[in-house]
Every structure is written in structure tokens, then in C-alpha cells.
């Protein structure tokens, strides 16, 4: 029972951090990783949200590797 609670807590933390990252990413980060998304609608960006929540560690590392992030 305790193991199941810990697993559910870890999944909840992963998804919570993913949601915070995903919202930040679709607002500012998606244009830095793919310049073709510049000027896209908010509906398109909302479609990217579930994937960015699920793949947030990989997207965060890609976003941080960009040379223009600091500027």
C-alpha cells in the first residue's frame, strides 16, 4: 500500500512539474526550438501542451541547450 502511494505521489509530482513547464514552454519556449511555430495560434499551442507535459525533461534539456536562451 505504501509503495502504491509513493508511486502515485511521484507521478503527481512529475505531472505537476510538467504542467508548470508545459505552460511556460508553449508561451516562450516553443518558438525558440522551432522557428516555424512563430505566429501560430493559441489553439495550436494548446495542442502541444499534453506532449510538453509528458516529455518535459527532454524538452527542458533541448531548450536549455539552445545558444539564444541566455540572450
Per-residue pLDDT at 68: 62
Asked if the structure places residue 51 within a domain, the reply is yes
Confidence category of residue 71, pLDDT binned at 50, 70, 90: very low
Asked if the structure places residue 70 within a domain, the reply is no
Report how far residue 41's alpha carbon sits from residue 53's, in angstroms, rounded to the nearest whole number: 19
Asked if the structure places residue 23 within a domain, the reply is yes
Into how many domains does the chain fold?
1
Asked if the structure places residue 39 within a domain, the reply is yes
pTM: 0.85
Report how far residue 28's alpha carbon sits from residue 49's, in angstroms, rounded to the nearest whole number: 13
Tens-place pLDDT, residues 7-66: 999 999 999 999 999 999 999 999 988 989 999 999 999 999 999 999 999 999 999 987
In which domain, by residue range, is 47 found?
Answer: 2-65
Asked if the structure places residue 57 within a domain, the reply is yes
**Half-sphere exposure of 16 toward its Cβ, with a 13 Å CA cutoff?**
6
Report how far residue 2's alpha carbon sits from residue 28's, in angstroms, rounded to the nearest whole number: 39
Asked if the structure places residue 16 within a domain, the reply is yes
Amino acid at each position: 500500500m505504501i509503495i502504491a502511494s509513493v508511486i502515485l505521489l511521484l507521478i503527481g509530482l512529475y505531472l505537476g512539474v510538467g504542467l508548470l513547464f508545459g505552460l511556460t514552454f508553449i508561451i516562450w519556449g516553443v518558438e525558440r526550438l522551432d522557428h516555424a511555430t512563430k505566429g501560430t495560434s493559441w489553439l495550436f499551442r494548446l495542442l502541444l501542451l499534453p506532449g510538453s507535459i509528458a516529455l518535459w525533461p527532454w524538452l527542458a534539456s533541448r531548450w536549455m541547450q539552445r545558444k539564444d536562451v541566455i540572450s
